[in-house]
Amino acid sequence: MRLKIIGSAAGGGFPQWNCNYRLSRAARTGAQSVRARTQSSLAASADGKRWVLFNASPDIRQQIAETPELQPAADGPLRATPIAAVVLTNADVDHIAGLLSLRERQPFALYATRRVLDVLEENPIFKVLDPAIVPRRELATDGACDLRDAADVPTGLTVEGFAVPGKVALYLEDLSRPDADYGSEEGDTIALRIRSREADAAAFYIPGCARISADLLRRLDGADCLLFDGTVYTDDEMITAGVGRKTGARMGHIAMSGENGSIAGLAEVAIGRRVFVHINNTNPVLDEASRERRAVTAAGWEVAHDGMEITL
Protein backbone atom coordinates (compact mmCIF):
# COMPACT_ATOMS: atom_id res chain seq x y z
CA MET A 1 0.00 0.00 0.00
CA ARG A 2 1.29 3.45 -0.93
CA LEU A 3 0.41 6.53 1.07
CA LYS A 4 1.20 10.00 -0.22
CA ILE A 5 0.68 13.03 1.95
CA ILE A 6 -0.36 15.53 -0.70
CA GLY A 7 -1.21 18.29 1.80
CA SER A 8 0.39 18.55 5.23
CA ALA A 9 -0.81 21.95 6.50
CA ALA A 10 -3.94 22.74 8.52
CA GLY A 11 -6.73 25.01 7.29
CA GLY A 12 -5.28 28.14 5.68
CA GLY A 13 -2.19 26.36 4.39
CA PHE A 14 1.38 27.52 4.85
CA PRO A 15 2.00 30.33 4.21
CA GLN A 16 -1.59 31.43 4.79
CA TRP A 17 -2.74 34.07 2.31
CA ASN A 18 -3.22 36.85 4.88
CA CYS A 19 -0.66 35.84 7.51
CA ASN A 20 2.32 37.95 8.48
CA TYR A 21 3.43 35.78 11.40
CA ARG A 22 7.18 35.02 11.28
CA LEU A 23 6.66 31.46 10.00
CA SER A 24 4.44 32.42 7.07
CA ARG A 25 6.87 35.21 6.25
CA ALA A 26 9.78 32.77 6.30
CA ALA A 27 7.91 30.36 4.01
CA ARG A 28 7.06 33.20 1.65
CA THR A 29 10.65 34.39 1.39
CA GLY A 30 11.93 30.85 0.82
CA ALA A 31 13.89 30.49 4.07
CA GLN A 32 16.06 27.34 4.01
CA SER A 33 14.64 25.59 7.05
CA VAL A 34 10.98 26.24 6.25
CA ARG A 35 8.93 24.58 3.49
CA ALA A 36 5.59 25.75 2.16
CA ARG A 37 2.71 23.31 2.54
CA THR A 38 -0.77 22.88 1.07
CA GLN A 39 -3.90 22.04 3.04
CA SER A 40 -4.60 18.68 4.62
CA SER A 41 -5.07 15.67 2.33
CA LEU A 42 -3.78 12.13 1.89
CA ALA A 43 -3.77 9.89 -1.19
CA ALA A 44 -3.56 6.10 -0.86
CA SER A 45 -3.35 3.27 -3.35
CA ALA A 46 -3.33 -0.51 -3.14
CA ASP A 47 -1.95 -1.03 -6.66
CA GLY A 48 -0.16 2.26 -7.44
CA LYS A 49 -2.62 2.90 -10.28
CA ARG A 50 -5.97 3.72 -8.71
CA TRP A 51 -6.00 6.18 -5.85
CA VAL A 52 -8.30 7.14 -3.03
CA LEU A 53 -8.15 10.65 -1.58
CA PHE A 54 -8.72 11.16 2.10
CA ASN A 55 -10.21 14.65 2.34
CA ALA A 56 -10.48 17.10 -0.55
CA SER A 57 -8.63 20.28 0.28
CA PRO A 58 -9.10 23.71 -1.29
CA ASP A 59 -5.61 23.18 -2.77
CA ILE A 60 -6.57 20.00 -4.62
CA ARG A 61 -5.91 21.43 -8.07
CA GLN A 62 -2.33 22.30 -7.10
CA GLN A 63 -1.93 18.96 -5.33
CA ILE A 64 -2.97 17.03 -8.45
CA ALA A 65 -0.64 19.19 -10.56
CA GLU A 66 2.24 18.26 -8.24
CA THR A 67 1.38 14.53 -8.07
CA PRO A 68 1.77 12.66 -11.39
CA GLU A 69 0.03 9.60 -9.89
CA LEU A 70 -3.19 11.63 -9.64
CA GLN A 71 -3.15 12.88 -13.23
CA PRO A 72 -4.90 11.31 -16.24
CA ALA A 73 -2.74 8.57 -17.81
CA ALA A 74 -1.15 9.70 -21.07
CA ASP A 75 -2.74 6.75 -22.90
CA GLY A 76 -6.11 7.11 -21.16
CA PRO A 77 -9.42 8.32 -22.57
CA LEU A 78 -10.09 12.01 -23.22
CA ARG A 79 -11.53 12.50 -19.76
CA ALA A 80 -10.00 10.33 -17.05
CA THR A 81 -8.66 10.27 -13.52
CA PRO A 82 -6.85 7.75 -11.34
CA ILE A 83 -8.90 9.10 -8.40
CA ALA A 84 -11.46 6.36 -7.77
CA ALA A 85 -12.93 7.63 -4.51
CA VAL A 86 -12.79 10.40 -1.91
CA VAL A 87 -13.30 9.73 1.80
CA LEU A 88 -14.04 12.57 4.22
CA THR A 89 -13.11 12.64 7.92
CA ASN A 90 -15.23 15.68 8.75
CA ALA A 91 -17.00 18.66 7.15
CA ASP A 92 -14.27 21.26 7.76
CA VAL A 93 -13.68 23.69 4.91
CA ASP A 94 -10.12 22.45 4.49
CA HIS A 95 -11.45 18.92 3.97
CA ILE A 96 -14.46 19.43 1.69
CA ALA A 97 -13.93 22.58 -0.38
CA GLY A 98 -11.79 20.67 -2.88
CA LEU A 99 -14.86 18.67 -3.92
CA LEU A 100 -15.95 21.73 -5.87
CA SER A 101 -12.81 21.46 -7.99
CA LEU A 102 -13.60 17.83 -8.85
CA ARG A 103 -16.66 18.80 -10.90
CA GLU A 104 -16.66 18.26 -14.73
CA ARG A 105 -18.88 15.19 -14.73
CA GLN A 106 -16.15 12.79 -13.74
CA PRO A 107 -17.24 9.62 -11.92
CA PHE A 108 -15.74 8.80 -8.53
CA ALA A 109 -17.30 7.63 -5.28
CA LEU A 110 -17.71 9.86 -2.26
CA TYR A 111 -17.69 8.34 1.24
CA ALA A 112 -18.56 10.13 4.49
CA THR A 113 -20.54 9.66 7.67
CA ARG A 114 -24.25 10.50 7.67
CA ARG A 115 -23.52 13.76 9.55
CA VAL A 116 -21.08 14.91 6.87
CA LEU A 117 -23.26 13.73 3.97
CA ASP A 118 -26.08 15.81 5.48
CA VAL A 119 -23.87 18.90 5.43
CA LEU A 120 -23.14 18.34 1.74
CA GLU A 121 -26.83 17.80 1.02
CA GLU A 122 -27.82 20.98 2.85
CA ASN A 123 -25.36 23.04 0.80
CA PRO A 124 -26.70 23.15 -2.77
CA ILE A 125 -23.34 24.21 -4.21
CA PHE A 126 -22.22 20.58 -3.78
CA LYS A 127 -24.79 19.62 -6.40
CA VAL A 128 -22.01 20.45 -8.87
CA LEU A 129 -21.12 16.84 -8.11
CA ASP A 130 -24.21 15.18 -9.57
CA PRO A 131 -25.02 12.18 -7.33
CA ALA A 132 -25.89 10.22 -10.48
CA ILE A 133 -22.23 10.52 -11.49
CA VAL A 134 -20.57 10.85 -8.09
CA PRO A 135 -22.44 8.45 -5.78
CA ARG A 136 -22.50 9.49 -2.13
CA ARG A 137 -22.05 6.53 0.18
CA GLU A 138 -22.51 6.46 3.90
CA LEU A 139 -19.50 5.38 5.89
CA ALA A 140 -20.55 3.50 9.01
CA THR A 141 -18.47 3.87 12.16
CA ASP A 142 -18.92 0.32 13.34
CA GLY A 143 -16.99 -1.88 10.98
CA ALA A 144 -14.87 -2.18 7.87
CA CYS A 145 -15.89 -0.82 4.49
CA ASP A 146 -14.39 -1.88 1.14
CA LEU A 147 -13.82 1.25 -0.91
CA ARG A 148 -15.22 0.93 -4.43
CA ASP A 149 -15.21 3.32 -7.35
CA ALA A 150 -18.35 4.85 -8.88
CA ALA A 151 -18.90 1.69 -10.95
CA ASP A 152 -18.62 -0.45 -7.81
CA VAL A 153 -15.23 -1.88 -8.73
CA PRO A 154 -13.16 -2.46 -5.56
CA THR A 155 -10.10 -0.22 -5.15
CA GLY A 156 -8.35 -2.83 -3.01
CA LEU A 157 -8.48 -0.49 -0.01
CA THR A 158 -10.59 -1.00 3.08
CA VAL A 159 -11.31 1.58 5.75
CA GLU A 160 -12.66 1.41 9.24
CA GLY A 161 -14.00 4.71 10.49
CA PHE A 162 -14.50 5.45 14.17
CA ALA A 163 -15.41 8.57 16.10
CA VAL A 164 -12.66 10.46 17.92
CA PRO A 165 -13.01 13.38 20.33
CA GLY A 166 -13.45 16.45 18.17
CA LYS A 167 -15.67 19.29 17.19
CA VAL A 168 -18.26 20.18 14.60
CA ALA A 169 -16.93 22.29 11.69
CA LEU A 170 -16.33 25.94 12.60
CA TYR A 171 -19.12 27.25 10.35
CA LEU A 172 -21.63 24.81 11.90
CA GLU A 173 -20.94 25.77 15.52
CA ASP A 174 -23.94 26.60 17.69
CA LEU A 175 -22.48 29.54 19.62
CA SER A 176 -25.36 29.44 22.10
CA ARG A 177 -24.10 26.07 23.38
CA PRO A 178 -20.51 26.54 24.56
CA ASP A 179 -21.04 23.92 27.29
CA ALA A 180 -22.08 21.33 24.73
CA ASP A 181 -18.94 21.84 22.64
CA TYR A 182 -20.87 24.24 20.39
CA GLY A 183 -23.32 21.58 19.27
CA SER A 184 -20.73 18.92 18.42
CA GLU A 185 -21.91 15.35 18.28
CA GLU A 186 -20.07 12.07 18.30
CA GLY A 187 -18.95 11.30 14.77
CA ASP A 188 -18.49 14.91 13.67
CA THR A 189 -14.82 13.96 13.41
CA ILE A 190 -13.70 10.46 12.62
CA ALA A 191 -10.44 8.57 12.44
CA LEU A 192 -9.76 6.10 9.64
CA ARG A 193 -7.86 2.84 9.74
CA ILE A 194 -6.74 2.24 6.15
CA ARG A 195 -5.71 -1.17 4.94
CA SER A 196 -5.02 -2.70 1.57
CA ARG A 197 -6.37 -6.17 0.92
CA GLU A 198 -2.95 -7.36 -0.09
CA ALA A 199 -0.62 -5.80 2.45
CA ASP A 200 -0.79 -7.06 5.98
CA ALA A 201 -0.38 -3.54 7.31
CA ALA A 202 -2.62 -0.71 8.40
CA ALA A 203 -2.26 3.05 8.70
CA PHE A 204 -4.37 5.34 10.83
CA TYR A 205 -5.31 8.74 9.42
CA ILE A 206 -6.43 11.16 12.12
CA PRO A 207 -6.00 14.79 11.01
CA GLY A 208 -8.29 16.09 13.75
CA CYS A 209 -8.44 14.84 17.34
CA ALA A 210 -9.14 16.73 20.55
CA ARG A 211 -7.99 14.19 23.13
CA ILE A 212 -6.32 10.80 23.48
CA SER A 213 -9.18 8.62 24.66
CA ALA A 214 -8.90 5.11 26.09
CA ASP A 215 -10.64 3.81 22.96
CA LEU A 216 -8.05 5.47 20.72
CA LEU A 217 -5.15 4.07 22.76
CA ARG A 218 -6.59 0.59 22.44
CA ARG A 219 -7.12 0.85 18.70
CA LEU A 220 -3.68 2.32 17.96
CA ASP A 221 -1.78 -0.36 19.85
CA GLY A 222 0.39 -2.21 17.31
CA ALA A 223 -0.35 0.15 14.40
CA ASP A 224 2.19 0.13 11.58
CA CYS A 225 1.77 3.83 10.90
CA LEU A 226 -0.08 6.76 12.45
CA LEU A 227 -0.72 10.06 10.67
CA PHE A 228 -1.94 12.29 13.47
CA ASP A 229 -3.25 15.78 14.23
CA GLY A 230 -0.23 18.07 14.48
CA THR A 231 -2.13 21.34 14.37
CA VAL A 232 -0.48 23.12 17.29
CA TYR A 233 2.63 22.54 19.38
CA THR A 234 1.24 24.32 22.46
CA ASP A 235 -2.44 24.77 23.22
CA ASP A 236 -2.26 28.58 23.47
CA GLU A 237 0.07 29.05 20.51
CA MET A 238 -2.28 31.11 18.34
CA ILE A 239 -2.85 33.47 21.25
CA THR A 240 0.83 33.92 22.11
CA ALA A 241 1.61 34.36 18.40
CA GLY A 242 -0.94 37.19 18.42
CA VAL A 243 -2.88 35.85 15.44
CA GLY A 244 -6.05 34.65 17.16
CA ARG A 245 -7.97 34.15 20.36
CA LYS A 246 -8.62 30.44 20.20
CA THR A 247 -6.76 27.63 21.89
CA GLY A 248 -6.11 24.35 20.11
CA ALA A 249 -8.66 22.72 22.42
CA ARG A 250 -11.29 25.27 21.41
CA MET A 251 -10.71 24.25 17.78
CA GLY A 252 -10.89 20.53 18.57
CA HIS A 253 -7.16 19.92 18.26
CA ILE A 254 -4.88 18.39 20.90
CA ALA A 255 -1.45 20.02 21.28
CA MET A 256 1.74 18.09 20.51
CA SER A 257 3.53 19.10 23.72
CA GLY A 258 2.69 19.15 27.41
CA GLU A 259 1.48 16.49 29.79
CA ASN A 260 -1.92 16.34 28.09
CA GLY A 261 -0.40 16.51 24.63
CA SER A 262 -0.24 13.83 21.96
CA ILE A 263 3.49 13.09 22.28
CA ALA A 264 3.12 12.23 25.97
CA GLY A 265 -0.28 10.62 25.52
CA LEU A 266 0.90 8.22 22.83
CA ALA A 267 4.43 7.62 24.17
CA GLU A 268 3.69 4.17 25.56
CA VAL A 269 1.73 2.86 22.58
CA ALA A 270 3.48 0.52 20.13
CA ILE A 271 3.35 2.31 16.76
CA GLY A 272 5.69 1.67 13.81
CA ARG A 273 5.89 5.17 12.37
CA ARG A 274 4.31 8.25 13.91
CA VAL A 275 3.90 11.28 11.67
CA PHE A 276 2.31 14.65 12.37
CA VAL A 277 -0.02 16.01 9.67
CA HIS A 278 -2.47 18.98 9.52
CA ILE A 279 0.16 21.42 10.83
CA ASN A 280 -1.01 24.96 11.52
CA ASN A 281 0.97 27.94 10.28
CA THR A 282 1.71 28.98 13.89
CA ASN A 283 3.34 25.66 14.82
CA PRO A 284 7.08 26.19 15.47
CA VAL A 285 7.93 22.67 14.26
CA LEU A 286 7.45 24.02 10.73
CA ASP A 287 10.93 25.49 11.17
CA GLU A 288 13.28 22.53 10.81
CA ALA A 289 15.94 24.42 12.78
CA SER A 290 13.69 25.05 15.78
CA ARG A 291 14.06 23.65 19.30
CA GLU A 292 10.49 22.37 19.07
CA ARG A 293 11.23 20.45 15.86
CA ARG A 294 14.24 18.81 17.54
CA ALA A 295 12.07 17.86 20.53
CA VAL A 296 9.43 16.27 18.30
CA THR A 297 12.05 14.32 16.36
CA ALA A 298 13.77 13.20 19.56
CA ALA A 299 10.39 11.87 20.75
CA GLY A 300 10.23 9.61 17.69
CA TRP A 301 7.82 11.64 15.57
CA GLU A 302 8.16 12.75 11.96
CA VAL A 303 6.69 15.98 10.63
CA ALA A 304 4.94 15.49 7.30
CA HIS A 305 5.72 17.60 4.26
CA ASP A 306 3.85 17.72 0.98
CA GLY A 307 4.83 14.80 -1.26
CA MET A 308 5.98 12.62 1.64
CA GLU A 309 5.48 9.00 0.73
CA ILE A 310 5.09 5.99 2.97
CA THR A 311 4.97 2.42 1.71
CA LEU A 312 3.48 -0.27 3.91
Distance in Å, CB of 208 to ligand MLT, minimum: 6
Phi, psi of 263 (to 5 degrees): -65, -50
Q: Which residues bind ligand MLT (CB under 6 A)?
A: 10-12, 92-94, 170, 208, 251-252
Distance in Å, CB of 194 to Mn ion, minimum: 19
Among 11, 156, 230, 261, binds Mn ion (CB under 5 A): 11
Q: Which helix H or strand E contains 121, and what residues bound it?
A: helix 114-122
Distance in Å, CB of 78 to ligand MLT, minimum: 35
User: Residue 167 or residue 293: which is nearer to ligand MLT going by CB?
Assistant: 167
Cβ-count burial of 69 within 10 angstroms (0-12 exposed, 13-18 middle, 19+ buried)?
middle
Q: If binding is defined by CB under 5 A, does position 188 make contact with Mn ion?
A: no
User: Residue 1 or residue 87: which is nearer to Mn ion going by CB?
Assistant: 87
Cβ-count burial of 290 within 10 angstroms (0-12 exposed, 13-18 middle, 19+ buried)?
middle
User: Residue 93 or residue 199: which is nearer to ligand MLT going by CB?
Assistant: 93
Q: Among Mn ion, ligand MLT, none, what does residue 170 contact (CB within 5–8 Å per kind)?
A: ligand MLT
Contact 157, 53 (CB under 8 A): no
Q: Among ligand MLT, Mn ion, none, what does residue 264 contact (CB within 5–8 Å per kind)?
A: none
- In whole angstroms, give the CA distance from residue 190 to residue 60: 21
Q: Which residue is nearest to ligand MLT (CB)?
A: 11
Q: Which of 212, 312, 311, 198 is nearest to 269 (CA)?
A: 212
Among 92, 181, 235, 287, binds Mn ion (CB under 5 A): 92
Q: What angle do CA 154, 102, 81 make, to 5 degrees?
A: 50
Q: Among ligand MLT, Mn ion, none, what does residue 156 contact (CB within 5–8 Å per kind)?
A: none
Q: Among ligand MLT, Mn ion, none, what does residue 251 contact (CB within 5–8 Å per kind)?
A: ligand MLT
Phi, psi of 227 (to 5 degrees): -105, 110
User: Residue 82 or residue 166: which is nearer to ligand MLT going by CB?
Assistant: 166
Q: 262 in helix, strand or coil?
A: helix
- In whole angstroms, give the CA distance from residue 106 to residue 273: 35
Distance in Å, CB of 74 to Mn ion, minimum: 34
User: Residue 10 or residue 225: which is nearer to Mn ion going by CB?
Assistant: 10
How much is the CA Rg of the chain, to the nearest whole Å? 18
Q: Which stretch binds Mn ion (CB under 5 A): 27-35, 85-93, 237-245, 284-292?
A: 85-93
Distance in Å, CB of 39 to ligand MLT, minimum: 8
Distance in Å, CB of 37 to Mn ion, minimum: 13
DSSP letter assigned to residue 125: G
Distance in Å, CB of 1 to Mn ion, minimum: 24
User: Residue 90 or residue 196: which is nearer to ligand MLT going by CB?
Assistant: 90
User: Residue 83 or residue 251: which is nearer to ligand MLT going by CB?
Assistant: 251
User: Residue 59 or residue 92: which is nearer to Mn ion going by CB?
Assistant: 92
Q: If binding is defined by CB under 5 A, does position 94 make contact with Mn ion?
A: yes
Q: 97 in helix, strand or coil?
A: helix
**E-only strand ranges, the chain:** 2-7, 41-45, 51-54, 83-87, 109-112, 136-138, 144-148, 154-163, 190-196, 202-206, 223-229, 271-277, 301-303, 308-311
Q: Residues in the site for Mn ion, rule: CB under 5 A? A: 10-11, 92, 94
